[in-house]
Amino acid sequence: MTKNWRADRKREQYYRKAKRENYRSRAAYKLKEIDFKYDLIHPGDRVVDLGASPGGWSQVAAELVGGDGEVYALDLARFSPIERVTFVRGDIRKDSVVARLLEHIPQGADVVLSDMAPNISGNYTYDHARSVDLCEHALVFASQVLKEGGNFVTKVFYGDMTKGLVSMARRSFDEVHVTHPKATRSTSSEVYVVGIGFNGARFSPRSASSERS
């Protein structure tokens, strides 16, 4: 990471805006734009934020659900507390973590968010495949905890496997959209797959693997 890269980042408008407005990351503005475009999160909703650290999306979700809503932030890493956000530490691929979350929300979630991304190796084909794999895990998780009519969004590095991910999402949602928020860096390959209206079709890890093959 070079000094020039750090300087460019600090000059970047969304980075500066996040600092001014006390968001933990510039990614907050991506979720704001997606929510505005697709009416994703409503007052009173129960929202689960996967891979939540450092917490920019959880902050926005807490604002959008208001005092009657609930936000649950899940991550393997430690998470600095956010007012009105409950942190659950663990791996979303484990049944025990899903069960622990459902103890908090036995009636299910209204929205599942995922801004997860793999550690970058520099090999785009490899990074894309790992990104899709994370998205599939997020989709499986969402299908296990969402109430019917619920919504979902996940980040993916765009590539030749994206079409398969979108097809998989269409099994479980009435509408599926692919969007590239303005707050995303122009050099980034990331896009967001948005599922609106969960129809009750649930995936298991094994069924997700068969969708990909």
Q: Which residues are catalytic?
A: 155
Residue pointed to by tokens 């450092």: 54
Strands 146-157, 190-198: pairing is antiparallel
Q: Report the alpha-carbon distance of residue 73 to residue 204 in Å, rounded.
A: 22
Strands 109-114, 46-50: pairing kind: parallel
Q: How far is CA 17 from CA 6, 20, 88, 113, 189, in A?
A: 16, 5, 28, 22, 22
For 37: left if phi > 0, alpha if psi spans -120 to 50, otherwise beta; the answer is: alpha
Q: Please say whether the beta carbons of 32 and 64 come within 8 A.
A: no
Q: Pick from 29, 25, 38, 15: which is nearest to 179 by CA?
A: 38
Other CB atoms closer than 10 Å to residue 94's CB: what's the count?
Answer: 10
